[in-house]
Structure formats: C-alpha cells, structure tokens
Amino acid sequence: MIQVVHGKKGSGKTKRIIDMANNAVKEQNGIVVFIDDDNRYMFDVQQPVRFVNAGEYGMVSPEMFYGFLCGMASQNFDITYVVVDAFLKLVNAKPAETEWFFRQLEQLADRSGITFVLSLSADDSEAPEFIRKYFI
C-alpha cells in the first residue's frame, strides 16, 4: 500500500507523518522505518522507529531512491511500514517526474507487504493523477 500526505510547505505534513510512524509502532508487528533527508527529526520519532538519514547516501533521482528502498527491503524482511519525509526534495524531482517511481513502488509494496507513506510538498493542483490516487 502507498499513501501520500500532501500539501503546501508549512501545512503540517511532517508532524502528521511523525505521528503516523509513532502510532505504527503500536499497530505493526514488524519494523517501522522513518526516512528523511537530514537528522532534524531524529528525536521526534519514538525509539523503536528506525530513523534513516537518506541524505547521507547521495540520492539524486527517483530511480536511485527506489534502489535504496529495494536494498532496505531485501536486507530486512521484517520491515512493514516505511515513512518518507520530503520525498520530492529527497529525490530532487518535480511531481510529474516521478511516475516511474510510483509504478515501481506499487509493485514493491505488493510484493513485500510494506506500507509506504510519503509526504509531498506541492499544491494539490500540481499533483498528477498517478499521485492523487494515493492521497490520504
């Protein structure tokens, strides 16, 4: 499953996904991962949540980030919930440039059973239909 938390900068997306990650620890039987582009929210997620600073790995495209997620999933079959903050900033892309990524991510989610939650800073009118279908 893929879910997208969306809205303009400053609309409370990060707070919402931090709460989602912290609540998922109570509801999930597996590992919850929070991915961000830096360490600023490391202490906002509860200790059982695995915090990953993906900014340390030189992501420059949606394709690279997809490979990163596949690597995580292949190395730990206990991951059940992955939250990604500031997705577009992390992959250095505009919403329209991420169609391939979302198609591949949907297949990964189906194969692995992982729920992916991504925050996306963009006006709703800028989001293509292939992203809108994941809006929560």
Task: Convert the pLDDT of each residue in 19-51 to its tens digit.
Answer: 999 999 999 899 999 999 999 999 999 999 999
Sheet hosting strand 31-36, strand order edge to edge: 2-7, 115-121, 79-84, 31-36, 50-53
Q: What does the pLDDT read at residue 124?
A: 82
Q: What does the pLDDT read at residue 126?
A: 80
> What mean pLDDT, rounded, does the chain reach?
95
Q: Which residues contact 94 (CB under 8 A, 6 or more apart)?
A: 88
Q: What does the pLDDT read at residue 21?
A: 97
Q: What does the pLDDT read at residue 39?
A: 95
4 forms bridges with which residues in the sheet?
A: 118, 135
Low-confidence ranges of the chain (pLDDT < 50): none
Measured at the CA of 16, the angle between CA 11 and CA 22, to 5 degrees, comes to 160
Q: 2-132: CATH homologous superfamily?
A: P-loop containing nucleotide triphosphate hydrolases (3.40.50.300)
